[in-house]
Structures are given as structure tokens and as C-alpha cells.
Chains A and B, each alone.
Chain A
Amino acid sequence: MNKKKKRLIVRSIILAVLALAVGYTFYSNLTKEERHNLRKGDEAPDFVLTDLAGETRQLSDYKGKGVFLNFWGSWCDPCKKEMPHMEKLAKEYKSQGVEVLAVNVGDSELQTKKFAKQYGLTFPIAIDSTKEVQDAYNITPLPATFMISPDGKIEEIVIGGLVKEEQVRTLFDKVKP
């Protein structure tokens, strides 16, 4: 083989190896923060919590139904505003196969119960006292809503309050079986 050609090949191989290493460094550094964030289309992490009525609620039991998974806290104002919409549509869509599951983050049982009573909430509410579910869904600001399709995929993620009933209705329609 021509020596010049050989040199070109050797250089190309070395540069390719270096480019690969540099590329990998970029990739892993830039995705470091994103890696643990859930995205649309991801499998919704399964969890199990006990609701205020003492019943065990496991997400995977809802397979075949759409789920409106809402994380909230009693001190959070936007959470208070979206609750009436949720309550109204929960009743309306129950027969259409979409269920609401609310996960309280940070409150005591007393506060959660008082809150549910004050707003007349009938959908199941569970308290994530160990914050494990909150961590699994990597939630910092409240409220956060995950729309989960009947096959357990995340269809939509909404961070922040849902102000209008129409907004909430669109979300419900998205995960109708």
C-alpha cells in the first residue's frame, strides 16, 4: 500500500476515535440533567400509595383507563384553582374511562382531609409522605399534571396551574380509551 494512503487511514482512525470520545463526552454532559426528567411518550413510573380512604392505589391497576395524575399541595394557590375543574370533570369522565388520581406532596393527613372536605373532592387522594413518588416523577414546582394513556404511557405533562375548564377537558379527551 502507498505510504501516503496508509498515513491518511491511520490519521483518520485516530481522529475518529478521538471524535467519538469527544462526542460521547458532549452527549453525556448535555443530557446529564435531562436524563432523569420524564418526557412525553415515556412509560409512567409505577407507584403504590394509600389514599385517604385507606385503599391501596397502584398506578398499573389503571391499565386500560386514562389517568389524570395530579401532584398538589394545600399551600399552593394554583392547585386550589384547578381543583374544582378536576372535580367536575372527574365525575363526567369516570364513565368514559378516565380517572383522577391526586397525590399530595408535603401536607399532613389532617390538612389534606380538611382540604378535600372544603373543596368537596370525591376522587382518590393519596399522600406521598416519603416523597418517593415525587422523586420518581422528578417534581419540583407544584402543581404538576401527568396525563397517562390507557397503555401506561405519558401522553402529556403540564407544569403549573390549569386555569380554564376547557384546558382540563382537552387533557381528559387526550387519554380517553
Chain B
Amino acid sequence: MAKVKCECGHVNPHGTILCESCGRALTEEAQKEKLHDMRYEGSARRSQTYNKTIIDKIWNFFSSVKVGIWLIVLTLIASSIGTIFPQKLFIPNNVSPETYYEETYGTAGKIYYTLGFHDLYNSIWFIGLIAAIGVSLVICSLDRVIPLYRALKNQRVARHGSFMKKQRLFALKEEKLQPEEIEKVKEKLKSKRYHIREEDGSLLAEKGRFSRWGPYVNHIGLIIFLIGAMLRSSEGMYTDEMLWIREGETLEIPGTQGEFYLKNEKFTIENYDKEKDPEVFKEALERTGGVVKNYQTDAVLYRDENRDLPGAKPKLVKVKEEKIRVNEPLKFDKFALYQDSYSKDEMKAMEFALANKETQKEAGRVKVDLFNPKDTYDLGNGYKVEIVGYYPDYDGIGSDGEPKTKSPLPNNPAFLFKMFSPEHPKGEISFTAIRQTLEPVGETDYKMEFRGIETRNISALTVRKDLTLWILGIGGAIFMIGVIQGAYWNHRRLWIRQIDGEVYVAAHTNKNWHGLKREINSVLEGTAIPVPEDQQG
């Protein structure tokens, strides 16, 4: 590795453009520049000359800002394409995504699915892109922050004349400065909180160097953020489940390994009331008809003391009772239950009357629990109803002549009843569905008359646990500190040097040149030192 020794005697790392110490241009290109590129202080930020091993090649690839920007642009384009068709999460959950995209959106949908756009955040290449951005962030930062730190640490007070001439703010004047003049300027600079270093009549005033580290602090924040996001896919760090729970039901809370159970006491939807609620809502209510004020699940949280095998009866101990509302989750042991969705008026029970067709006389009533129907219902006095068949989601008669049910849910309950009466002690058969009665084995004297229905609501809760949140918080905070550090402070430097009876003045800042000019003007005003002028534009 060839080091570059500057005429001033300082030894620079290979690839250095401007001597770390005196600022002399070390490359031909830099010597030809009208103004020096000061972004990284002319330090050796990339050693592309060392491209021999595969490690160096990978390193140099990710070290390029151009590559980093391309990765970000590709990620943005991919993310926007991902919004064209709905993501997998939002398609109906009873269809297979494999066929859904092609059937709904044609060839474009098929391509969309095949390339993994339908589940973008989980597709390999998208994770790959994000990971590459992370790698690029680390390597780009390391490759720049270390040389920059070195260059700023090694900078000498007396910079070479050629370096000063090629600064954006520069002035040159034939003049012999008096020591008092310098003292006056130093005082003013000090009052503006500059650090001052002097070396045989040359002066360097500097402030706000730490603002140069802003971007790198910001990158550290981003990397921490990415680590947090990475941990989300780890077992036990992140849970996002749904719990559909009927009124009155007690169910195990998914994701809690059987430790917690929840009971839904009641689910309510409350609308704004024209009369009771403030006048301001009146107009909106008249326009839309109804506006929901509150979705609420009255829930009881239990802990299972047994924590026994699946299927075993839990030994429930009440932990707490709470009302879950939108944005007011039930929190317990790192978990939170959020009100997410609902389904109203699921049928729970049906009531029938056993009645004589001719006389219209009721022999008694039968209330059938649709989730747990009984075998027989004894009505006394020789009247009895037996359920021969129960079809909760009746879907017509099958090819085998048997009534069919689509699902186990009571969406369209139908019954095959056997009605016993003193007149018919052997029973009469009646098939009773909603708005339909069949008498498959001959006309009957009795019938099951529909009398009423009992319904209940189902509440849908999101079960959420996120142990990565604090990591994301810290990452975000560091990110913001970096932004503030880089945005609200400037790194300002002023060089004054006397060479052969001439005064050289140069100044540099990483941003806000206007502010620097004003500050220098006020410092140098009324002194023999010339005010540096903007050589650019």
C-alpha cells in the first residue's frame, strides 16, 4: 500500500485528494480544479485501487452512494407497484391467492402474483432489497466517516496557499498585519464561540464540527431501526392475530400459549343521537343517516391456572374486566387487544311452536339453541318434539336425498323434526327451514310454526404483541438526533495566513454560506484583514 507523502511532510493514506494536514492538492485533477470539492475534505474515502479480492469488490460495490441511491429508488418503485392491486391480506380470505389474482386481474394479476408483489413485504427479493440498503448504509458510512474524522483531526492551522485559493470564500491582500489586529479578530471570533488555533502567525477558527457527524448518527439510527424490523420475524417478538369471539363465549387468546382466556360479555355499537348529542353533528347525521359513535366489547380477561394440554378444561382465574373500544385496547402482559371488526346479529336460537294445523291450537313452544340443540323437547301431555336432523347452513337437498349443510355455522338453519302428539304417538315428520316447510313422508296434522329468533353479535379483536417497539423507538430517536445535528448546526472554518507579505483569508462551511458570510463580515469589519469573497457564481 503506497502512502502519499505530501510536500509538507504529512503522510496521507493512498487515494487522498487533498493533504489531510496542509490541504495541498495531491492529485492532478484536484490541482486543475477551480474550487476544491470539500464534501469529504478531499480524504481517501474509497480505495478502489484495492480491488483484488472478492471481499474488496463486494465492499466497493456497497460503498458507492450511487448504488445506495439505486437500491432506494428500486425499493420505492417496487413499493408503489405493490399498491396497484390489493395485498394478500386484503383479498377475501376464502379464496386462494394463487387463482384470485389471475381471475380478477387477468395476466397482469398472474405476473403480479408470480413475482410476489401480492405479499410484498414477505417476498424474498423485497427483503433482499431492504437488506442491501442496510448493508449499503453501514459500508457507505464506515467508508466516509473514518477518513473524514482523520482529515478533520489531522488538519493543520497553516494551510497551503493553493488550498486556500481554491476555497469558495477567499481574499488576498498585500498587507503586513499588526499583532493587535489579530488579537481583535480573535476576541470577536471567541465571542462567536469559535475555537481558535494559532501557528506562527497563522490562524484557524473553527466551530460546529460535530454537525459533520449528523448524517452518520442518522444512519446509526436507521440501522437500529432495521435491526428492530428484522427482529419482528423472530419467534416470540411479534404477534398479530385475530380473535373472533361471540357474545357469551370464552376463548383462548391466540398467541398466549394457552395462558390467557377472554370472555365477550357484550358487544355494542352506539350511534350518534340527533337529540342527545351536540347540535354540531345534526347536519352530518341528516345527510348520512347514522354515524357510529362507539364500538365496544365488554370483556373479561382470565388466566388459566392449569395451562394443561390443548382440549383440557381450563381453570380460569379472573384477571380483570374492561371495556375494549377503538383506540382503547385491553392491555395485559405485553399484549394488547384492539377492537377491530364485528359481525352483527348471528342467529343463536330459534323458537318454534308445535301447533295443530286445523285448530291453530299451540301445544307448546320449543326453543332450539343453534349451537347446542337437544335431542328431544318434551312439552308434556303427550306432546314431544324430536330433532332427527339439524342442518345449520342448509343448502338444498343432496343427490343422496339428504339435506345438505354448507358449513357448521347457523347461517340458514333447517331442521328435520319428529312431532309427537296424542293423536300421533309414533310421530309425524316435518322438514322446517326458514320460510319453507316440507312434509317429505306425507301430510301432517301438526306443524312447527316459527315464533322468534335470538341473535348475538360477534366481536373481532386484534391480538398484538410487539417487543421490538422500544428498539424502533430508540432507532427513531437517534435518527432524529442525527437530522437535527446536521441540519441546525453548521461546520464553519476561517483560515488567516500571512505569506510573503500577503494576507490570505479563506472560509468554508458545509451549509448556509450566507450565514457564514455575514458572520465573517461582522468579525473582519474595520480591520486590515480583507473580507473573503465568494468565488462561485
Instruction: Name A's B-contacting residues (CB within 8 A).
Output: 2-4, 7-8, 11-12, 14-15, 18, 21-22, 24-26, 28-30, 32, 35, 45-49, 58, 73-75, 106-111, 113-114, 126, 128, 130, 132-133, 135-136
Instruction: Name B's A-contacting residues (CB within 8 A).
Output: 1, 47, 50, 53, 55-56, 58-59, 122, 124, 127-128, 131, 134-135, 138-139, 142, 227, 230, 233-235, 251-252, 254, 258, 308-312, 371-375, 387-390, 392-393, 404-408
In the complex, the answer to whether A8 meets B55 with C-beta atoms within 8 Å is: yes
Measured between alpha carbons, how far is A95 from B284 in the docked complex, in Å?
Answer: 74
In the complex, the answer to whether A7 meets B50 with C-beta atoms within 8 Å is: yes
Set A11, A28, A58, A108: member contacting B55, Cβ < 8 A: A11
In the complex, the answer to whether B55 meets A48 with C-beta atoms within 8 Å is: no
Measured between alpha carbons, how far is A106 from B393 in the docked complex, in Å?
Answer: 12
- Assess A110 versus B310: contact at CB under 8 Å? Given A4-B1, A28-B233, A30-B124: no
Q: Which residue of B lies closest to A29 (CB)?
A: B233
Measured between alpha carbons, how far is A18 from B62 in the docked complex, in Å?
Answer: 12
- Assess A75 versus B408: contact at CB under 8 Å? Given A21-B230, A48-B309, A135-B254: yes
In the complex, the answer to whether A136 meets B56 with C-beta atoms within 8 Å is: no
Measured between alpha carbons, how far is A26 from B373 in the docked complex, in Å?
Answer: 50
Which residues of chain A come closer than 8 Å to B405, judged between CB atoms? Answer: 74-75
Q: Which residue of B lies closest to A2 (CB)?
A: B1
Which residues of chain A come closer than 8 Å to B374, judged between CB atoms? Answer: 110
Closest beta carbon of chain A to B49's beta carbon, Å: 11
20 A–B contact pairs at CB < 8 A?
Answer: A2-B1, A8-B56, A21-B227, A25-B131, A26-B128, A30-B124, A35-B235, A47-B310, A74-B408, A75-B393, A75-B404, A108-B371, A110-B373, A128-B311, A130-B252, A130-B311, A132-B258, A133-B310, A133-B311, A136-B310
Main secondary structure of the interface of A (DSSP, over half): helix
In the complex, the answer to whether A3 meets B1 with C-beta atoms within 8 Å is: yes
Closest beta carbon of chain A to B462's beta carbon, Å: 17
In the complex, the answer to whether A130 meets B251 with C-beta atoms within 8 Å is: yes
Set A8, A11, A28, A48: member contacting B311, Cβ < 8 A: A48
Which residues of chain B come closer than 8 Å to A18, judged between CB atoms? Answer: 134-135, 138-139
Measured between alpha carbons, how far is A114 from B405 in the docked complex, in Å?
Answer: 14
- Assess A110 versus B387: contact at CB under 8 Å? Given A15-B59, A22-B135, A29-B122: yes
Which residues of chain A come closer than 8 Å to B138, judged between CB atoms? Answer: 14, 18
Measured between alpha carbons, how far is A58 from B310 in the docked complex, in Å?
Answer: 10
Measured between alpha carbons, how far is A78 from B387 in the docked complex, in Å?
Answer: 25
Set A26, A35, A49: member contacting B124, Cβ < 8 A: A26
Measured between alpha carbons, how far is A45 from B47 in the docked complex, in Å?
Answer: 57
Q: Which residue of B lies closest to A73 (CB)?
A: B408
Q: Which residue of A lies closest to B121 (CB)?
A: A29
Q: Name 7 extra pairs, CB < 8 A, besides A75-B392, A133-B310.
A: A7-B47, A8-B55, A28-B233, A108-B371, A111-B390, A132-B252, A135-B310
